[in-house]
């Protein structure tokens, strides 16, 4: 059975144009729903993009077994040494392990504008740690000197918080730490952190052991071997994860929250838009009753009428979808900064529009148009010719 | 029969004391895109009190426009229009509204009844503008519905009535305020032969017994037959001749 | 009145269209009410906090602990009535989803500060006697079905290991506003474990709870406490309990603001739908309105007809929405909301906003049709075939 569109497309399109106000209002309602839908998807994509980009496939993270975040974790020095001796850990040119013992603690800073204090992670890194993260580069100022009470701030911290300019000092752990630079970590979670010298920070916070160990794998696929080796070693009470997966897991709660909330809202809103489409299409059918009768009398099949009205509804929805997407695309300029439930610290991320989201949003719009338009279209196609002509 | 065309008072009479409607040098044009299309050109016409006049002419002759001007639902571009001694071209929109309520009764080709109101309520509608009490409104409405022979159908909605019955309700509505002038635009245009005849005889009674001045626009020769005077228009101007003289 | 008769009959004329419009209104207004309630419920936590209690935590971050020997020092400060300790345990019971708050506290002192928690005398004694005992709030017990005598295994995250507690008491709240969703076990039990396995972490507390003699002196006492420990290894930040809870709310402020903003988008959506309905309806009835104008009714009259009809439809929608909001909120709470919120009440203001939104929508939706119809020339309107 071929689905042939007998009635010309310009008949359908022109009907929408003639009743412009109605078309604009109906499509506008749909555009709003698509906007919300796309915005949620974009927010989640942005969150994932930030976190996923935060890790590298070749890096792995060791934290204490049972700890979910680096902040909860502590890896004793002897264990750290054991980790560095594992054969799956790559070695640098100098023969030393490409591993970085890092300490992560939280500090609270006032947000620019509101002045409300929220938690910001402070990461003590080593020279090795900088090597393991090639995506990090200096935006302004300089790197901290090893052994000095200096810190550099991530690009998002510089943007979202007050009192973090180069030259200003932060006071914590009974020391004063001078801010000497701003770094860009390619829109990843690191952008929301403060970095300093690991040894200095550990001393200041009176910690004898680091929070975690970051290491480079000899080869990306030696991960499974590494996991097996760690499990087999009874002295090691650590868990190992790929850096990418670690950060992804960290955001799972937040991501789920956003997705569930957003999709629920979109579905509820879509009901409103579907009702709007149904009202419009029913009215269109009622107004063009005589027309429909005439077309049928001329010889067009019921199916042609059905398809014509369905297409009108779909065209309406499509226009709304495009408009909604267009508006949503502007969201990409906005950055959201909020507390990640799991890590208890601030995370900044943005809206990301992907081709996948564009497709999903348009499909969503078309589905709305289909559901809203199907009953009126059926009504139009089922009308008896004589009844519709008499109504003229 | 043909004399009626000759005696149509096209020209202003010297003593227009009797004329209910006096039209002097009236013209009207519409703007279509870039152009000004003249619809009526320099119309001069009197209509006497108690007369039954039919405006006739081919499509586009301007007869409906002239009717609209007389009824006060449109304004001429030039000229004056006197009804019962009042120049209605000088009235503002809101004054015209009040004037229409008091002076004119409308009968349309497609009845133009309110679908959500019963026959009785449709007839009652213009009385709301007259400031009458509920009882007075009821009395009058029942009276005119009886006059048109629909007393037993008062509580029916328009979609429960036939075309002819609907038009009779419309006529009842048109006379319930006891207007000076009854204006009808193709009153029989949508009716079958029998109903049309009914309506015309009703109009005839209204004119004969109740002395209502009636102006109709029509294509229908039977309507023309019911009228006392025929006025012809062609291309926006009054013409002398009845094209169907016989 | 005739006017009302016309308005009502016209409103109910196209039944399917009016019904769909009302349905859309109800959905949108209920969604709006629900979202507003979520925002309120989230911000409501701090409302029930006491003004006579202070919370002292590590000045750097809540994540850092304070030494327990601070307790005696704090107790000796003028204006302080009593001091208790609390450590956030943060363990996982069944799975990550079945979350509830667990605290290690010094029981007699702690509950002395919280008279709103009511214990049955015998359960209280049992709780104190069992070093592995746990006191569970009534709302929490109802949520997960905890009963006296139940063994509750919890996997520690901050304090590693597999822990097990026994429910010895279920406490009630003083009144409806008291939140009883907590799980309290003994600080001493935690501390013993730490002394053995992680000595460096022992004798530390998460926060001190301080009761002041005179709530009016709360700010002053807070300052004194902080001054006492300034320039030490662990500086304190002392604030009222309400301020403390507000700082949590502020953390996901952005998301709450987004939710609040989105709730207004839904109003826009329904405005589009309602405006469309009114516009179509007015256009279809143009010849009727023109007839009325011809009969002598002024443009104001027909404009008022349209406005009144819009108000009628939106009022029906608003009434239904307001009636349905509370039951739907209840349903939401019972199914999903309980996990996150202790209470989920629909505020009277929310109903007010819903009504306001309905009125605004009805007026705005009618605006364009009102103006168009009032201004249409009679002759054009009569010619119009709806």
SS3 annotation, chain B: CCHHHHHCCCCCCCCCCCEEEEEEEEEEEEEECCEEEEEEEEEEEEEECCCEEEEECCCCCCHHHHHHHHHCCCCCCEEEEEECCEEHHHCCHHHHHHHHHHHEEEECCCCCCCCCCCHHHHHHHHHHHHCCCHHHHHHHHHHHHHHCCCHHHCCCCHHHCCHHHHHHHHHHHHHCCCCCEEEEECCCCCCCHHHHHHHHHHHHHHHHCCCCEEEEECCCHHHHHHCCEEEEEECCEEECCCCCCC
What Cα–Cα distance (Å) separates residue C230 from each residue in A37, A278, C209?
A: 50, 68, 18
Q: What is the pLDDT of residue C46?
A: 67
CB contact under 8 A, C9 and B74: no
pLDDT at B5 over 50: no
The minimal CB distance from B101 to the residues C9, C295, C377 is found for C295
Find the distance separating the first CA and the last CA of chain B, reported in whole Å: 9
Tokens representing A77 are: 């020095």
pLDDT at B41 over 80: yes
Asked if A touches C (at least 3 Cβ pairs < 8 angstroms), the answer reads yes
Q: Are A111 and A162 in contact, with CB atoms under 8 Å apart?
A: yes
How does pLDDT run across C251-277, given as a tens digit for each residue?
A: 677 778 878 888 888 888 888 889 988
CA atoms of C188 and C130, how far apart (whole Å): 11
Q: How many Å lie between the alpha carbon of A275 and the closest alpha carbon of chain C?
A: 6
**For residue B98, what is the nearest residue in chain C, using CA coordinates?**
C296
The minimal CB distance from C273 to the residues A119, A276, A338 is found for A276
Q: Identify the residue among C17, C194, C251, C364 best suited for mutation to test binding to A, counting A beta carbons within 10 A and taking the highest.
A: C251
Q: Identify the residue among B88, B98, B114 best suited for mutation to test binding to C, counting C beta carbons within 10 A and taking the highest.
A: B114
The minimal CB distance from C10 to the residues B93, B101, B116 is found for B116
Angle between helices A20-54 and A9-18 (to 10 degrees): 100
C-alpha angle A250/A42/C28, rounded to 5°?
110
Among C106, C253, C117, which Cα is nearest to C181's? C117
Q: How many Å lie between the alpha carbon of A262 and the closest alpha carbon of chain C?
A: 9
How does pLDDT run across B147-182, given as a tens digit for each residue?
A: 999 999 999 999 899 999 999 999 999 999 999 999
On the 0-12 / 13-18 / 19+ scale of CB atoms within 10 A, A139 is: middle
Q: Are B165 and B153 in contact, with CB atoms under 8 Å apart?
A: yes
Q: Does C262 touch chain A (CB under 8 A)?
A: yes
Tokens representing C260 are: 């609040």
Asked if B touches C (at least 3 Cβ pairs < 8 angstroms), the answer reads yes
Among B89, B116, B84, which Cα is nearest to B102's? B84
Q: What is the pLDDT of residue B215?
A: 95
- Beta-carbon contacts of residue A115 (< 8 Å; ≥ 6 apart): A162
Q: Identify the residue among C295, C312, C376 best suited for mutation to test binding to B, counting B beta carbons within 10 A and taking the highest.
A: C295
CB contact under 8 A, C17 and A71: no
The minimal CB distance from A338 to the residues C31, C252, C270 is found for C252
What part of C 354-383 touches B (C-beta under 8 Å)? 377-379, 382
**For residue B117, what is the nearest residue in chain C, using CA coordinates?**
C6
Share of chain A above pLDDT 90, in %: 26
Q: What is the pLDDT of residue C339?
A: 65
Q: How many Å lie between the alpha carbon of C285 and the closest alpha carbon of chain B?
A: 10
What part of A 331-350 touches C (C-beta under 8 Å)? 336-339, 341, 344
Q: What is the pLDDT of residue A342?
A: 67
CB contact under 8 A, B108 and C291: yes
Least confident of A110-124, C75-89, C283-297: A110-124
Q: Does C230 touch chain A (CB under 8 A)?
A: no
Among A312, A362, A365, A33, which Cα is nearest to C27's? A33
Give the sign of the dihedral formed by CA C176, CA C181, CA C185, CA C191: negative
Give the residue extent of every domain in chain C. Answer: 2-45+253-383, 60-234
The minimal CB distance from C266 to the residues A119, A269, A337 is found for A269
CA atoms of A298 and A11, how far apart (whole Å): 15
Query: Rounded mean pLDDT of A11-40?
Result: 86
How does pLDDT run across B213-243, given as a tens digit for each residue?
A: 999 999 888 888 999 999 999 888 888 644 4
Q: Are B152 and B183 in contact, with CB atoms under 8 Å apart?
A: no
Angle between helices A9-18 and A302-329 (to 10 degrees): 60
pLDDT at A163 over 70: yes
Q: What is the pLDDT of residue A208?
A: 83
- Beta-carbon contacts of residue B233 (< 8 Å; ≥ 6 apart): B55, B56, B57, B61, B62, B63, B66, B239
CB contact under 8 A, C265 and A261: no
CA atoms of A271 and A22, how far apart (whole Å): 18
C-alpha angle A38/A43/A46, rounded to 5°?
120
What part of C 177-236 touches B (C-beta under 8 Å)? none
How does pLDDT run across A107-125, given as a tens digit for each residue?
A: 878 888 877 777 888 999 9
CB contact under 8 A, B114 and C6: yes
The minimal CB distance from A72 to the residues C157, C200, C268 is found for C157
Among C351, C354, C341, which Cα is nearest to C44's? C341
**For residue B124, what is the nearest residue in chain C, using CA coordinates?**
C2
Q: What is the mean pLDDT of chain A?
A: 85
pLDDT at A1 over 50: no
Secondary structure in 3-state letters for chain C = CHHHHHHHHHHCCCHHHHHHHHHHHHHHHHHHHHHHHHHHHHHHHHHHCCCCEEEEEECCCCCCCEECCHHHHHHCCCCEEEEEEEEECCCECCCCCCCCEEEEECHHHHHHHCCCEECCHHHHHHHHHCCCEEEEEHHHHHHHCCCCCCEEEEEECCCCEEEEEEEEEEEEECCCCCCCCEEEEEHHHHHHHHHHHCHHHCCEECEEEEEECCHHHHHHHHHHHHHHCCCCCCCEEEEEHHHHHHHHHHHCHHHHHHHHHHHHHHHHHHHHHHHHHHHHHHHHCHHHHHHHHHHCCCHHHHHHHHHHHHHHHHHHHHHHHHHHHHHHHHHHHHHCHHHCCCCCCCCHHHHHHHHHHHHHHHHHHHHHHHHHHHHCCHHHHHHCCC
- CB burial of C34-48 (b: ≥16 within 10 Å; e: otherwise) equals bbbbbbbbbebbbeb
CB contact under 8 A, C296 and B101: yes
Query: Rounded mean pLDDT of C75-87?
Result: 92
Residue A209 DSSP one-character state: S
Q: Identify the residue among C292, C294, C304 best suited for mutation to test binding to B, counting B beta carbons within 10 A and taking the highest.
A: C294
C378 contacts on B by Cβ (under 8 Å): 68, 73-74
Among A140, A156, A144, A159, which Cα is nearest to A195's? A144
CB contact under 8 A, C17 and A279: yes
pLDDT at B105 over 80: yes
What Cα–Cα distance (Å) separates residue B12 from each residue in A278, B57, B60, B73, B230?
A: 59, 21, 25, 23, 16
- Say which residue, C52 or C208, is predicted with more confidence: C208
CB contact under 8 A, C287 and B112: yes
A65 contacts on C by Cβ (under 8 Å): 160
**For residue A116, what is the nearest residue in chain C, using CA coordinates?**
C250
pLDDT at A75 over 60: yes
What part of C 290-319 touches B (C-beta under 8 Å)? 291-299
Among A288, A275, A274, which Cα is nearest to A15's? A288
Q: How confident is the model at residue B130 (pLDDT cuts 50, 70, 90)?
A: confident
Q: Does C4 touch chain B (CB under 8 A)?
A: no
Residue listed under structure tokens 């929310």: C350
B129 contacts on C by Cβ (under 8 Å): 295-297
CA atoms of C51 and C244, how far apart (whole Å): 11
Q: Does B33 touch chain C (CB under 8 A)?
A: no
- Exposure on the CB side of residue A368, measured as CA atoms within 13 A: 36
Q: Are C358 and C311 in contact, with CB atoms under 8 Å apart?
A: no
Q: Give CA torsion, residues A204, A210, A214, A218, to 10 deg.
A: 130
What part of B 162-201 touches C (C-beta under 8 Å)? none
A338 contacts on C by Cβ (under 8 Å): 251-255
CA atoms of A182 and A184, how far apart (whole Å): 7
Q: Are A42 and A324 in contact, with CB atoms under 8 Å apart?
A: no
CB contact under 8 A, B74 and C2: no
What Cα–Cα distance (Å) separates residue A338 from each residue in A195, A345, C333?
A: 20, 8, 25
CA atoms of C320 and C355, how far apart (whole Å): 11
Give the residue extent of every domain in chain A. Answer: 9-52+252-390, 66-236
Q: What is the pLDDT of residue B1?
A: 39
Give the residue extent of every domain in chain B. Answer: 49-68+92-239
What part of B 108-137 touches C (C-beta under 8 Å)? 108, 110, 112, 114-117, 121, 124-126, 128-129
Does ipTM top 0.85?
Answer: no
Q: What is the mean pLDDT of chain B?
A: 86
Neighbours of chain A (3+ CB pairs under 8 A): C
Give the number of B-C residue pairs with CB atoms closer than 8 Å.
59
CB contact under 8 A, B114 and C293: no
Q: Does A119 touch chain C (CB under 8 A)?
A: yes
Q: How confident is the model at residue C99 (pLDDT cuts 50, 70, 90)?
A: confident
Least confident of A64-68, A287-291, C245-249: C245-249
- Strand-pairing partners, residue A350, are A335
CB contact under 8 A, C157 and A25: no
What part of B 59-98 touches C (C-beta under 8 Å)? 68, 71, 73-74, 93-94, 97-98
CATH code for the domain defined by B49-68+92-239: 3.40.50.300
CB contact under 8 A, A119 and C252: no
CA atoms of A192 and A196, how far apart (whole Å): 14
Cβ–Cβ contacts within 10 Å for residue C234, how many? 18
Which spans in A330-354 are helix H?
Answer: none
Q: What is the pLDDT of residue C97?
A: 72
B126 contacts on C by Cβ (under 8 Å): 295-296
CA atoms of B28 and A88, how far apart (whole Å): 97
Among A200, A230, A219, which Cα is nearest to A103's? A200
SS3 A325: helix
What Cα–Cα distance (Å) separates residue C93 from each residue in A264, C150, C154?
A: 28, 13, 5
């Amino acid at each position: 059975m071929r689905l042939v569109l007998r009635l010309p497309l310009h008949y359908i399109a022109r009907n929408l144009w003639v009743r412009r106000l109605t078309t604009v209002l109906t499509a506008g309602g749909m555009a709003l729903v698509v906007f919300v839908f796309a915005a949620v998807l974009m927010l989640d994509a942005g969150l994932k993009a930030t976190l996923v980009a935060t890790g590298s496939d070749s890096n792995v993270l060791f934290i204490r077994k049972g700890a979910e975040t680096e902040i909860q974790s502590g890896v004793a020095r002897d264990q750290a040494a054991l980790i560095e001796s594992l054969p799956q850990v790559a070695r640098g040119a100098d023969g030393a392990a490409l591993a970085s013992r890092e300490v992560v603690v939280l500090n609270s800073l006032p947000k620019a504008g509101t002045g409300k204090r929220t938690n910001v992670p402070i990461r003590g890194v080593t020279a090795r740690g900088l090597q393991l993260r090639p995506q990090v580069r200096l935006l302004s100022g300089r790197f901290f000197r090893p052994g000095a009470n200096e810190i550099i701030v991530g690009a998002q911290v510089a943007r979202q918080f007050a009192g973090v300019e180069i030259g200003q000092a932060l006071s914590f752990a009974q020391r004063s730490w001078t801010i000497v630079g701003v770094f860009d970590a390619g829109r990843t979670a690191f952008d929301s952190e403060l970095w300093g010298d690991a040894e200095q920070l550990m001393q200041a916070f009176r910690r004898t052991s680091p929070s975690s160990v970051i290491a480079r794998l000899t080869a990306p696929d030696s991960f499974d071997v590494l996991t097996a080796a760690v499990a087999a070693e009874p002295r090691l009470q650590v868990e190992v994860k790929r850096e990418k997966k670690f950060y992804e897991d960290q955001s799972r709660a937040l991501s789920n929250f956003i997705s569930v909330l957003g999709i629920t809202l979109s579905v509820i809103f879509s009901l409103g838009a579907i009702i709007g489409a149904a009202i419009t299409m029913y009215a269109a059918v009622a107004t063009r009753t005589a027309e429909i009768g005439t077309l049928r009398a001329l010889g067009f099949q019921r199916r042609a009428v059905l398809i014509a009205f369905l297409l009108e509804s779909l065209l309406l929805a499509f226009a709304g979808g495009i408009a909604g997407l267009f508006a949503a695309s502007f969201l990409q300029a906005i950055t959201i900064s909020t507390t990640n439930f799991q890590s208890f610290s601030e995370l900044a991320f943005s809206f990301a529009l992907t081709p996948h989201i564009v497709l999903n949003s348009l499909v969503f719009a078309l589905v709305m148009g289909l559901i809203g338009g199907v009953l009126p279209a059926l009504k139009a196609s089922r009308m008896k010719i004589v009844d519709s002509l008499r109504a003229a | 029969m043909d004399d009626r065309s000759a005696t149509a008072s096209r020209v202003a009479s010297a003593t227009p004391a009797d004329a209910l409607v006096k039209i002097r040098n009236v013209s009207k044009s519409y703007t279509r895109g870039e152009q000004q299309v003249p619809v009526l050109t320099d119309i001069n016409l009197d209509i006497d009190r108690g007369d039954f006049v039919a405006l006739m002419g081919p499509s586009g002759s301007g007869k409906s426009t002239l009717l609209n001007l007389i009824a006060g639902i449109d304004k001429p571009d030039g000229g004056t229009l006197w009804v019962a001694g009042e120049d209605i071209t000088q009235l503002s929109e809101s004054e015209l509204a009040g004037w229409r309520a008091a002076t004119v009764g409308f009968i349309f080709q497609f009845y133009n009844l309110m679908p959500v109101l019963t026959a009785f309520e449709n007839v009652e509608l213009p009385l709301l503008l007259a400031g009458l009490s509920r009882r007075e409104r009821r009395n009058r409405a029942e009276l005119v519905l009886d006059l048109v022979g629909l007393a037993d159908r008062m509580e029916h909605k328009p979609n429960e009535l036939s075309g002819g019955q609907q038009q009779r309700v419309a006529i009842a509505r048109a006379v319930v305020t006891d207007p000076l002038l009854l204006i009808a635009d193709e009153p029989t245009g949508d009716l079958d032969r029998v109903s049309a005849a009914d309506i015309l005889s009703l109009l005839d009674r209204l004119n004969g017994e109740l002395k209502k001045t009636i102006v109709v626009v029509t294509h229908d020769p039977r309507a023309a037959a019911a009228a006392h005077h025929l006025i012809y228009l062609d291309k926006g101007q009054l013409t002398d001749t009845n094209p169907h003289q016989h | 009145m005739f006017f009302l008769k016309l308005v009502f009959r016209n409103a109910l004329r196209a039944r399917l269209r009016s019904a769909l419009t009302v349905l859309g209104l109800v959905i949108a207004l209920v969604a709006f009410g629900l979202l507003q309630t979520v925002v309120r419920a989230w911000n409501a936590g701090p409302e029930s906090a006491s003004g006579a209690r202070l919370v002292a935590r590590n000045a750097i971050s809540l994540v850092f602990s304070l030494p327990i020997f601070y307790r005696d020092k704090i107790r000796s400060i003028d204006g302080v009535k009593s001091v208790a300790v609390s450590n956030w345990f943060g363990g996982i019971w069944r799975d990550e989803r079945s979350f509830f708050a667990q605290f290690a506290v010094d029981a007699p002192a702690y509950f002395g500060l919280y008279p709103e928690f009511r214990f049955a005398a015998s359960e209280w004694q049992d709780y104190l006697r069992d070093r592995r005992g746990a006191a569970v709030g009534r709302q929490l017990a109802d949520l997960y079905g905890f009963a006296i005598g139940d063994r509750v295994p919890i996997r520690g995250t901050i304090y590693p290991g597999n822990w097990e507690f026994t429910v010895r008491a279920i406490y009630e709240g003083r009144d409806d506003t008291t939140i009883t969703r907590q799980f309290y076990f003994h600080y001493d039990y935690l501390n013993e474990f730490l002394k053995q396995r992680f000595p460096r972490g022992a004798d530390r507390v998460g926060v001190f709870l301080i009761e002041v003699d005179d709530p009016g002196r709360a700010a002053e006492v807070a300052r004194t406490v902080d001054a006492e420990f300034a320039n030490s290894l662990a500086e304190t930040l002392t604030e009222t309990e309400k301020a403390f809870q507000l700082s949590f709310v502020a953390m996901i402020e952005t998301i709450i603001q987004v939710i609040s903003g989105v709730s207004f988008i839904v109003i826009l959506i329904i405005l589009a739908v309602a405006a469309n309905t009114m516009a179509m309806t007015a256009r279809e009835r143009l010849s009727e309105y023109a007839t009325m104008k011809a009969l002598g009714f002024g443009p104001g009259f027909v404009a008022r007809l349209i406005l009144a009809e819009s108000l009628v439809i939106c009022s029906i929608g608003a009434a239904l929405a307001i009636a349905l909001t509370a039951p739907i909120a209840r349903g939401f709470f019972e199914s999903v909301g309980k996990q996150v919120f202790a209470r989920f009440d629909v505020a009277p203001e929310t109903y007010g906003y819903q009504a306001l939104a309905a009125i605004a929508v009805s007026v705005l939706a009618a605006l364009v049709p009102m103006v168009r119809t009032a201004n249409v020339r009679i002759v054009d309107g009569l010619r119009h075939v709806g």
